[in-house]
A and B are shown apart, each in its own frame.
Chain A
């Protein structure tokens, strides 16, 4: 390990430096660690002229300032204050933004809603998505009009396919200036979110702001969630109101939306129970709806009562433990044996060619809205229901049954899969020759540290991207409680989400929001590709600024993983390659985080320990730069090479 240090000069720097100095690492002397401040001095600069990175006191003071809600008294309150009050009343969990849309974001922060300001609208929108994937809660992102808004598009798409209840907010000039180009940044926003939002509106009547806030939360909190996009002309955000009667449809949330959830008829549930009883090897595919509707306890009851196999899918995982004896998340070899599949909360339906399931499998789908039933996959039975309601009803009427052969088959398949990944780990050790880290080796080291060592295996949220690593890493990042595992690339394939998603997850854990409350303050692990660094690395400054306990492990293989596609077109190869041995760890240090550059398992192990302690004790984020080789991707050179196994399974990314 060449270095682990931090480039920040706030109050914690001295203790961190001392901590690093005394850390015992086998085979590495303390001299192997170079604090970045020392490194700068050694480079010949006058140390006294170099200012350390530090977190200004104003940040913590600002966060501790009193909550201030608007009032109809005196000059009255602005549209932004009214909107912020509704967000507060709806328990909007957090808001992530890059400044812009000033009136709205300032009042949301002022209302006491968790608020974070970062370096780019896109990454902060992804952070909001990550926060929701970890908690299931509705969350907001915001950007300024024109460029700020368009920068969020990639994140909105990712949130859309993940069914994230994401409230997208953007300013958009004034109605008086619309179409005139008399100022900068005007853009007709709503058409650009067509196809990636659940609901959207440019609010044009200032006195209807409360009415449209109701539209927003009605859509965020009902049916299948998805992004809601509101854009605010200045007249709406800055309009003033001295009485509630100035506003149209100014109702309380108990009046403008309902908490009622769709429930199935008892006859339908009995039909499901009957089909399950007739099946020999039933399987439940439990998607994101089970997580968002908090149906995990009922799911466990159903599965255990009748010994039904379960494979969890979706952007957020942990609603059925990967290591449970009935889990097929790892035991992919048993999937083809299932003779009945019950999709519950599977919002992104595959086709029969996408899923590793038998040709003649019978199919039931439970979904909260009728219009999607039958999409992509012909059904034997479709049921409209909320996921938790359905599972609780099924758990109540389903008879107990033992299925020892099915359970044994699942166990055998799991063992086979784990033996295979262990074989790849051993191959990876050989391939790396103690000079390069193969992704299977990185995966095993992360598993041993976070899930098989001194850390509570239920504690750490892991999120992962990097398609080069999909075959090797996700199997090691086990989830055993809801919201513990985040598939960053889920369906959208958005490279660059790992660090921003990690920021959102780390914010949720740091504040102990919702289901993350039991692990408040725990470090969060983000596994990222080097390709993704171009999109998200700078946002580590936001992680450092808010002292988020985020550990980012980067697989640095010096390239886009698709470089092997240039075999028949050698003149194209250069387009896929980066400079070799890029120091993402140094970039992280320059942003106020700690960094480590590692090339073998021993160094990685040591770096994980340092990073964990920094995150847990001092809330300092770390980036661990794992040097790999592009050739590890190639099946011809280093079999088995990269591959993306078909879902459903622990490494499923598409559905």
Chain B
């Protein structure tokens, strides 16, 4: 493996490990698949989310939200939410710099996620940005939207912990 690729992989690894040490995840483990690093992150709702680095310039999280097509307007709302991160509607300090990173929704029909392309080789910025988006999906998009039933039925929200009386 070339040194520059090794360096990219190390940067991804170190960045994620640092976030793990800061309490962001319930657990994280990394493996290689076809030479590409893949991180299994136990995160929101105690679900495992897989973050892949492809060809050293694409970061993909495919399985953020399952089955959103079964819920009215959810896919459209999700796309708008993700798009906002690189739009002028987002405050500057949270906005994704389009000259450094492009971000798009990645949908395979069953699972919906996001894909980032690193434009300026700043992989640390890419990791930081993608984690911010995913974190925000679970702390802003889902709870602020009409998705209580979605949380119960698709994300395994424990109603004994959060009851509606």
Contact = CB atoms under 8 A, between A and B. Distances in A.
Interface string A318-361: 00000000000000010011010000000000011101101110
Contacts of A564: 148-149, 152
B23 A378 contact: yes
Contacts of A356: 139-140
A649 to B, nearest CB: 10
B121 interface: no
B24 A352 contact: yes
B44 interface: yes
Interface string A181-205: 0000000000000000000000000
A68 interface: no
A643 B163 contact: no
Q: Is chain B's interface secondary structure helix, strand, loop, or mixed overall? A: helix
Contacts of B35: none
A562 B149 contact: no
B149 A468 contact: no
Q: Name the interface size band of chain B.
A: 35 or more
B148 A560 contact: no
A558 B58 CA distance: 51
Given A337-B91, A641-B149, A360 B164 contact: no
Interface stretch (A33-41, A78-86, A630-638): A630-638
Contacts of A567: 149, 153
B87 to A, nearest CB: 15
B50 to A, nearest CB: 18
Interface in A594-652: 633-636, 639-646
Contacts of A336: 94, 132, 136, 139-140
B69 to A, nearest CB: 14
B135 interface: yes
Nearest to A376: B23
B162 A358 contact: no
A465 B165 contact: yes
B138 to A, nearest CB: 8
Interface centre among B44, B94, B128, B165 (most CB of A within 10 A): B165
B23 A560 contact: no
Contacts of A561: 163-165
B143 A644 contact: yes
Q: Name the interface size band of chain A.
A: 35 or more
B23 A352 contact: yes
Contact of A360 (B72, B128, B161): B128
Contact of B163 (A353, A562, A634, A635): A562
Nearest to A560: B165
Contacts of B91: 337, 409
Interface string A59-89: 0000000000000000000000000000000
Nearest to A412: B91
Interface of A: 280-281, 333, 336-337, 339, 351-353, 355-356, 358-360, 376-378, 409, 465-468, 493, 495, 529, 531-532, 560-562, 564-565, 567-568, 633-636, 639-646
Given A359-B132, A409-B91, A641-B146, 13 more contacts: A336-B136, A337-B93, A353-B44, A358-B135, A359-B22, A360-B22, A360-B128, A493-B161, A564-B148, A636-B149, A642-B148, A643-B144, A644-B143
5 contacts: A336-B132, A352-B24, A353-B44, A359-B128, A560-B165
Interface of B: 19, 21-24, 26, 43-44, 71-72, 91, 93-94, 128, 131-132, 135-136, 138-140, 143-150, 152-153, 159, 161-165
